[in-house]
Structure 1
Amino acid sequence: MTQATILVVGGESIIVQDFESGLESMGYDVPVVAASGEEALRQAGEVRPDLALIDINLTGEMDGIETAARLRELFGVPPVYLAAHGDQETFDRARITEPFGYIVRPFDARDLYITIEMALYRRRTESRFKQSERWLAALLHATADAVIAVSTAGLVLFMSPAAEELTGWRREAALGEDITAILEIVNEETRERAANPVTEVLRKGEALVPPGGFQLASRDGQEIPVDCRAVPIRDDRGALTAALVVLRETLQSEAPRLDNQGRKQAERVLVARQAGAAPSR
């Protein structure tokens, strides 16, 4: 396994040389020890550490907590805090930065090693998860089907490019909107608004494939025949966390889509041609 790189950030409150040599004896790479938050940010951009061990009582313009927040924001480096005491107020501030560990002195080498290894394991797990998210996002962006993800509150979380094109909604405008405003299904025969498939999935918790004969009323006034499938998304405990709807246009023709008035005119043209007469306008 590749040697983990650790950035140590500490001032006079940590015996830097002993601390650095102790980490190296555990098998970690400690390329630099930063004495201030500003130096830590500069060094992080160069060494790209896997983890930062930060003296929470760091002195200077940035304290340990602010330094940790900036390291995570700019470089995605998770912190492990080293604290001289464990007062609740400091802990509450530190918790906001989502640390991977919090050690209160005095601690021994074994405590430190276990904390670091747990933090590195968590980082590797999160990295794999984020990689999977990127693969999934790339897949959803590449598919020809329109895909929309919706929260349990019915708000749009994700919209693929194909869904943007089909619904007439740009992703930036759709995110956070109620799915009923984005996905309006109309009965092709009665012209009445049909039950929203995503709303039904969130209400019943079961997959739903609406029968044929429905059209999507897009934002720009088009009515587009579609096949639709909506499915629930559940966590490891089986709790409903979101819903996914997949739409596919059923038109076989490559001709441009028509709004309702244009479609009726096209139908009249087709009927007239079949009858051998000129269409009325």
Structure 2
Amino acid sequence: MTNRTIKILIVEDESIVAQDLQSVLEDFGYEVPLLVDSGEEAIEQAIKIKPQLILMDIKLIGKMDGIMAAEKIVEILDIPIIYLTAHGDKNTIERAKISQPFGYIIKPFTKQELNIAVEIALYKHSIDQKLKQNTRWLMMILNSIADGIIVTSGKGFITFVNPAAEKITGWLSTEALNQPISSVFNIIDDNTKNSLDSFLMKIIKSDEETKIPEVTCLINKNAIEIPITCQISSISEYLEMNSVNNFIEEFGGKVIIFRDDTQRRISHEQLKRQAFYDSLTNIPNRVWFTERLNDALERCYRNSKYLFAVLFLDLDGFKMVNDTFGHLIGDKLLIEVANRLMKLLRSIDTVARFGGDEFAILLEDVTDIEEVCRIAQRIHHDLSISFSIENKILCTNASIGIVLSSINSTNVEDLIKNADIAMYQAKSKGKGRYEIFEPSMKNKIKEDVVFG
């Protein structure tokens, strides 16, 4: 923009002074289309011609002085104002500050002083325009982003809330502003249900970028727990441009970015269930059982006194049920068997379906083989009670193979294989019974394969 395209409105009650100012400014290349001498006319003409700058005397004709007129103009228009006045007293200056002038020149002044003041005011205004544009751009992004964003001061008071954060927290921006962060962003550890307020404040007062614990819930305004993922950083990391420094000062030092994690966690649990649980019986499958068995072996390595047992079950007579009543009835029988086994066991134990009519049980932290045998006997007792399925009375039981962790088995595969060998020994001896694995059984199996 050249000087010739810059319009300056002069507001001066003394016509001679106003004409001199017009002459000087036009010599500098500025356009001065109007001279006005009252505050009321200054407002009217500013709206009409929209100048790029106003030179405003404080003492004017009429009831409205220059400061009052400037206040009205800046409410309506974004126009820089320079005061030209003989009044430099403290009271006048304090009043003038309210309208946020871009300059304040005490009369008398030189042509050079006037030119410098005008150029600086126009330059400052152009920078201010860029700042406002960047701020609008930033606010547009923050308000349109799908993640919730809350900005706090260094002391933990909320200075900004975007619409997504309003939706998740249940707090309107107007309600949340100036509130302590813990009042609006009330988070807890989803496992322990302990408050994370002190942890949150520690992060806000530090300079580090931090992720909150993965299993975190936000308690919204309606006391509903919402799983979230969240990251907290210094806002200056996102706003490195010099032109937004004022925005940083205004809105604080920390930005909290979070999102509702409900659907992701549901999907994760569904995938986990598909991977680790049997789709028919809803109990763990072989994959999950193997993981738990690996954990038990690790505990054995760390603690020689720790003892566990693996039970391998194969239902007796299940093929006959399927052949007689069909697979639908057979499937329902498997579900009922799984339910009975689950009720028999402790919370630390694991029962899994390996496929078909085969089940495996991991008994953790057992005292001795006698305790394991008592549990096997309870399993036989409970499974011997008939099942009523679709008005049909079904009877079954199980052949059970038992292997203790004290047997020299160093991996999961050997433990399962040995329990399976013991189970076949039980089935070969009449079914509905259990057998404890002994190394000699392996030789017996080999003989049966060769000669049987």
Task: For residue 66 of structure 1, report the CA deviation from its aligned partner.
Answer: 1.1
Which structure has more relative contact order (CA 8 Å, sep 6+)? It is 1
How far is the alpha carbon of 1:85 from its aligned partner?
A: 4.4
Alignment-derived partner of residue 77 in structure 1: 79
More deviation in 49-58 or 84-93? 84-93
Q: Which amino acid aligns with 2:227?
A: P
1:251, distance to aligned residue in structure 2 (A): 2.4
Deviation at 1:14, TM superposition (A): 5.3
- Tell me if the contact between 2:52 and 2:79 (Cα under 8 Å) persists in the aligned partners: yes
Corresponding residue to 1:252 among 260, 263, 268:
263
Show CA shifts across 1:105-154 (max 9, x none).
Answer: 22121110000000000000000000000000101111111111112232
Aligned to 1:40: 42
Choose which of 56, 59, 81 in structure 2 pairs with 1:57: 59
Is the Cα contact below 8 Å between 2:11 and 2:18 reproduced in 1? no
Q: Which structure 1 segments of 5+ residues have no match?
A: 256-270
**Does 2:282 match 1:274?**
yes
1:209 aligns with 2:207: no
Contact 2:147–2:257 (Cα < 8 Å) also in 1: yes
Match of 2:368 in 1: none
Q: Number of matched residues?
A: 263
Larger CA deviation: 173-182 vs 11-20 = 11-20
C-alpha change, 1:85 and 1:187, in structure 2 (3 Å) is closer
Q: Secondary structure at the match of 1:46?
A: helix
Aligned residue runs from structure 1 range 121-160, under 5 A: 121-160=123-162
Match of 2:122 among 120, 123, 126: 120
Provide the C-alpha distance between the structure 2 equivalents of 1:119 and 1:22, rounded to a whole number of angstroms: 17
- Residue 247 of structure 1 aligns with an amino acid whose one-letter code is F
SS at match of 2:129: helix
Question: Equivalent residue of 2:223, what SS?
Answer: coil
RMSD: 2.8
Does 124-133 or 209-218 show the bigger shift?
A: 209-218
TM-score normalized with structure 2 length: 0.54
State how far apart, in whole Å, the 1-side matches of 2:231 and 2:202 are.
11
Q: 2-side partners of 1:175 and 1:14: how far apart?
A: 52
TM-score of the two chains, using structure 1 as the length reference: 0.84
Q: Quick one: percent identity of the two aligned structures?
A: 36
**Gaps spanning 5+ residues in structure 2: where?**
267-278, 284-334, 337-452
Q: Residue 260 of structure 1 aligns with which residue?
A: none
Aligned partner of 1:94 in structure 2 is 96
> Which deviates further from its counterpart, 102-111 or 76-85?
76-85
Deviation at 1:49, TM superposition (A): 1.9
Matches of 2:282 and 2:192, distance apart in 1? 26
